[in-house]
Amino acid sequence: MPHTTEALLEGGPDHLAGRRAVPQDDHGTDLKIPHLNRYEHYAFAGTRQDTDGATVPVFRWTHHTFIAE
């Protein structure tokens, strides 16, 4: 089972934005989240934010790519 971590997502599709569990990458600088027929890509913003009593990393949407069939 993949590891997950809490993060704050900014930008991208409205229903993905906000604090959520995301797949944890070994490098910790980028996220690639499957969504519909594509991947939404987020980059670490270099900051952390306090939300709901926890400090979580902030990731900003950069672009999307389509899933190859």
Which residues make Cβ contacts (< 8 Å) with residue 68, sequence separation at least 6? none
Q: Rounded to 10 degrees, what is the CA torsion of 5, 31, 39, 42?
A: 120
Query: Is 69 a residue whose pLDDT tops 70?
Result: no
- Cβ-contact 32, 41 below 8 angstroms: yes
Domains of the chain: which residue ranges? 4-66
**Does residue 31 register a pLDDT over 60?**
yes
pTM for this prediction: 0.86
Confidence bin at 1 (pLDDT 50/70/90):
low
